[in-house]
Structure 1
Amino acid sequence: MRGVSRRLHQFLGPKNPHKTSFHYTDLLHLCKTVDSIKKTHAQVIIGGHEQDPFIAAKLIDKYAQIGNGGSYVKHARNVFDQLSHRDVFCWNVVIKGYANMGPFAEALNVYDEMRLSGINLNRYTYPFVLKACGAERAFLKGRIIHGHAVKCGLDFDLFVCNAFVAFYAKCQEVEVSRKLFDEMPERDIVSWNSMISGYIANGYVDDAVIIFFNMLRDDDIGFPDNATLVTVLPAFSEKADIHAGYWIHCYIVKTGMKLDPAVGCGLITLYSNCGYISMARAVFDQISDRNVIVWNAIIRCYGMHGFPQEALGMFRCLVESGLHPDGIVFLCLLSACSHAGMHAQGWQLFQTMETYGVVKSEAHYACMVDLLGRAGDLEKAVEFIQSMPVQPGKNVYGALLGACRIHKNLELAELAAEKLFVLDPNNAGRYVILAQIYEDAGRWQDAARVRKVIREKEIKKPIGYSSVELESGHKKFGVNDETHPFTTQIFETLVSLDKIMGIEARTQCDVIL
């Protein structure tokens, strides 16, 4: 920082006769704080260069990059507004600033002003404005901009196509994204990454995996980069595909790719979901610059597999490392304590959240209700809900309903369900749990009434399925699944096996008797 100030003093002194556009832009490149940018800006004005589009564009970009929640974008806009002549580069950097820092709607307004000004838009304009459209979920506006790109002849430009693939995916129009992707005359690694990310963001995990392997077969692309692995690892984690995890891990080692926090976190989650706790820990130990997200992943790993003491130990290491735990860390810890029946430790963690500056959300309160409910303290759970400083939501009452089923408290279950039918009316699971509680109590008519409500309201329960790993890959199947081409043979074989097992069981009984 002192070096920058010294260069500013030497370079921008009133007696220096060698000030050019390149001198100012060189200094702006070195600026890391708002004060240093403002000093350079002041000297630009004193030197009479404030109307230089090249310097102005660099100033706009620098102010926008400085961050602080977008509060300095207004300084960038002031520089832009004072220009008498604006080239396409100046317009683009203003749109870029709003697209990155917000407000996103302002990026769309500047884009409209740019078109009205008669400036010819280029291939860099559309990625910026479409990023803002995606952030705003402004689907109709994006379609209009797509039409503008077609008129400009840029609809098949690689940069622009990549931006449209990402935009439509953000607006949940994955089929449109895929159609554009398939029609692209050329693709780069960004194209593939955008399509994979789009599928995963919209829940099409299998399609994401398929397109990833298609990318590996594309000779023009070469090898996946860091962004590819960060993008695709959540898909393999959800599928619990350990072989894909091994492949990616080996690829990182063989290529010498740095195991950064993003990729490392993805690997930890994948190994965790597959039950390979020691491998998850080994990856964690290899990450040198661990952030809170990485710590979250390993704490969650220990917690979900029933190792609460290890999770608490990692929490202590996190604090000792100088990092501040966030709300997700506490969610993982509270959940671990709840499932392990560690009532006192969970309560202590909940009380210490404010010490670390973590705001308690409805999810944290739901964890505490779950903890109290699993321990059988239903009355205390109700008192806890009534004393909450935030409005209890569906997660809180869902935890209470689940506890009522465990401890067969029908009266309290009806009260919790009544709240849930208002807060979460389309969740079939809530109705099913209440119906099961009625069935456990022998109140069959009430159970039938609840199930009738599900049918009348046409509330759909997500179809559960199992997955088996074969040599040809993962195969999914649900209850009474008849989609397989050899369904008849499969069910006939199962019936035969059932008969054989019945005969064997009777034979064993006869031998014993």
Structure 2
Amino acid sequence: MNGLYRRYSRALVSRKQPFFRFLRSIFNDWSRREYHRDSYDYTKLLQHCRSIRSVQELHAQIVVEGHDQNGFLATKLIGKYAEYGEEKMGIARKVFDRLLEKDVFVWNVVIQGYANWGPFAEALNLYDEMRVGGEPTNRYTFPFVLKACGAMKNSEKGKIVHGHVLKCGLDLDLFVGNALIAFYSKCQDVETARKVFDEMSLRDIVSWNSMIAGYTLNGKVDEAIMLFHAMLHNQTACSPDNATLVGILPACVTKSASQVGFWVHSYVIKTGMEVGAPLGSCLISMYANCGHVNIARDVFDRIKDKNVIVWSAIIRSYGMHGFADEALNMFTSLEEVGLKPDGVIFLNLLSTCSHAGLVEKGREIYEKMEAYGAERKEEHYACMVDLLGRAGFLEQAVEFIEGMPVQAGKDVYGALLGACRIHNNIELAKEVGDKLFVLDPENAGRYVILASMYEDAGQWEDAAKLRKLLRDRNIRKPVGCSSIEIDRINHVFGKEDESHPFTEQIFDTLEKLERVMDENFEPI
């Protein structure tokens, strides 16, 4: 039998006919030879199926031959259908439902399919069926179920599943632990995710990556950077891989942590790691936020397979530093290579045009969105209002808002209020402020802008009313802070902040500096 299969395999590699025709030739050959087919033969053929049509052709033959109740073969068939996404999960489910006897492996495969492609609720429904029917679970069941819970952000169901994990004694299992970290991170409960991470007796690279990415995704960038340092200094930890670097670089972007970012790039070069689109776009954004636009461009030029995300990163890089011409030229190059720009790219371009005062070019970019089928969202409308408002076309900005196909939101009116502040149009600002106090009542910045305009105009009574309204509603502006990077660690502090462990030394040094300045410098 092995010799026969090897002959078919060689013919399969060299064939010039479609695979489904090749299958028929095999079936005919088997019939002539009266060859007894078993699940092993069909499993091997399934591995060579490269299209959904060939899978269905083989599936039909499996049913004809009466192997549809073979649990091992059904598991392989379900897994093959699941490879083709959500559209084929319906067929996979029919194969599963026809089985009279189901083991834990076939349950896991169909739950995995739903967890990967959706509908995610079906993964949870099947898990509940397992529990009600008394079907056994194993260390592979829970990661798939938890993945579905995370995708739905269903924290309550996930916590119930976590309870089942504890009852089964699998809470220390590596795969289950990694799944729990990812689940809690997606549900914005990074404290519990960290508790699971700390309690794991064994961690692999996925454990570290999941926890670092969890911190980054939830805005805990300082914690992400600290954990990354702990990983580097932990002798039992794994070496960083591509996923580690993709997880930590967004934190470096947010904090402009140049030293960590430089280390990451140096590590990539030293290890010869391939810089693909995900890692490359992160490096470009990191260098841009740290002010190194030329290095960002060098990274961009070295990426072989550039996707829309990479182009978006370099366009944003130029735009945020005022290089409007370069950003627009990159957009032209993107069009020339035949890529379809998405909404993020258009948002970056509109923002660039707004800050550069390129009104007509901004209008042109805005109109191109429709040609490319890019959906216009509130942030795009807000950018257009900002573009017109900054240039002094306040009436046109108002007309644009009135002509919007959707109801204007807080971002749109916020952009208009900012333009009123620039051009000191207090009457329009008052109208816009009244709308914002309804749409965005907890944003202290809106009140402060209007109050400052009243004060500049000498309308002290109106300014006092707004300041009092802020106090009565207990609305406060977010406390500003500064940060400094020392030995790859970011130290964050605010005005008269006494939370740092070396507070006394810091303030003592500041007092000494003030005395030196008073003694050596005379006032101008």
TM range (shorter): over 0.9
SS at 1:504 equivalent: coil
Q: Which residue number corresponds to residue 26 of structure 2?
A: 11
Q: Which residue number corresponds to residue 88 of structure 1?
A: 104
User: What do the CA deviations read for 1:88-131 (whole angstroms, capped 9, x no partner)?
Assistant: 11111111111111121111111010122222101010110001
User: What do the CA deviations read for 1:447-500 (whole angstroms, capped 9, x no partner)?
Assistant: 222222222222242222122233574332223333341254255345435634
C-alpha distance in structure 1 between counterparts of 2:84 and 2:150, whole Å: 23
Judging changes above 3 Å, is the alpha-carbon distance between structure 1 residues 354 and 505 closer, same or farther for their aligned structure 2 residues? same
Is there any run of 5+ residues in structure 1 with no aligned partner, and where? Answer: 507-513
Judging changes above 3 Å, is the alpha-carbon distance between structure 1 residues 393 and 51 closer, same or farther for their aligned structure 2 residues? same
Q: Which residue number corresponds to residue 403 of structure 1?
A: 419
> Does residue 319 of structure 1 match 2:331?
no
> Does residue 114 of structure 1 match 2:130?
yes
Q: Which has the higher contact order (CA 8 A, sep 6+)?
A: 2
Q: Which residue number corresponds to residue 178 of structure 1?
A: 194
Question: Shift of residue 273 of structure 1?
Answer: 0.3
Structure 2 residue identity aligned to 1:143: K
Structure 2 residue identity aligned to 1:279: I
Q: Which residue number corresponds to residue 76 of structure 2?
A: 58
Q: Which residue number corresponds to residue 479 of structure 1?
A: 495
Question: Shift of residue 238 of structure 1?
Answer: 1.1
C-alpha distance in structure 2 between counterparts of 1:333 and 1:289, whole Å: 22
C-alpha distance in structure 2 between counterparts of 1:451 and 1:229, whole Å: 46
Judging changes above 3 Å, is the alpha-carbon distance between structure 1 residues 14 and 401 closer, same or farther for their aligned structure 2 residues? farther
Structure 2 residue identity aligned to 1:28: L
Does the 8 Å contact 1:57/1:90 carry over to 2?
yes
User: What do the CA deviations read for 1:340-390 (whole angstroms, capped 9, x no partner)?
Assistant: 001111101111111112122221111111100011000000000000112
Question: Shift of residue 8 of structure 1?
Answer: 2.5
Does the 8 Å contact 1:165/1:181 carry over to 2?
yes
C-alpha distance in structure 1 between counterparts of 2:488 and 2:346, whole Å: 40
SS at 1:415 equivalent: helix
Judging changes above 3 Å, is the alpha-carbon distance between structure 1 residues 385 and 14 closer, same or farther for their aligned structure 2 residues? farther
Does the 8 Å contact 1:252/1:258 carry over to 2?
yes
Structure 1 residue identity aligned to 2:26: F
Q: Choose which of 29, 38, 59 in structure 1 pairs with 2:47.
A: 29
C-alpha distance in structure 2 between counterparts of 1:352 and 1:393, whole Å: 23
C-alpha distance in structure 2 between counterparts of 1:420 and 1:282, whole Å: 43
Q: Which residue number corresponds to residue 509 of structure 1?
A: none
**TM-score of the superposed pair, with normalisation by structure 2:** 0.92
Judging changes above 3 Å, is the alpha-carbon distance between structure 1 residues 47 and 490 closer, same or farther for their aligned structure 2 residues? same
C-alpha distance in structure 2 between counterparts of 1:420 and 1:25, whole Å: 63
Is there any run of 5+ residues in structure 2 with no aligned partner, and where? Answer: 1-15
Question: Shift of residue 287 of structure 1?
Answer: 0.6
C-alpha distance in structure 1 between counterparts of 2:516 and 2:429, whole Å: 41
SS at 2:156 equivalent: helix
Sequence identity percentage? 56
> Does residue 253 of structure 1 match 2:272?
no
Structure 2 residue identity aligned to 1:101: W
Judging changes above 3 Å, is the alpha-carbon distance between structure 1 residues 19 and 391 closer, same or farther for their aligned structure 2 residues? farther
Show the 5 A alignment for 1:143-222.
143-222=159-238
Q: Which residue number corresponds to residue 511 of structure 1?
A: none
C-alpha distance in structure 2 between counterparts of 1:421 and 1:57, whole Å: 58
Judging changes above 3 Å, is the alpha-carbon distance between structure 1 residues 37 and 443 closer, same or farther for their aligned structure 2 residues? farther
Aligned residues: 503
C-alpha distance in structure 2 between counterparts of 1:296 and 1:2, whole Å: 42
Does the 8 Å contact 1:156/1:185 carry over to 2?
yes
Does the 8 Å contact 1:11/1:19 carry over to 2?
no
Q: Choose which of 310, 313, 333 in structure 1 pairs with 2:326.
A: 310
**TM-score of the superposed pair, with normalisation by structure 1:** 0.94
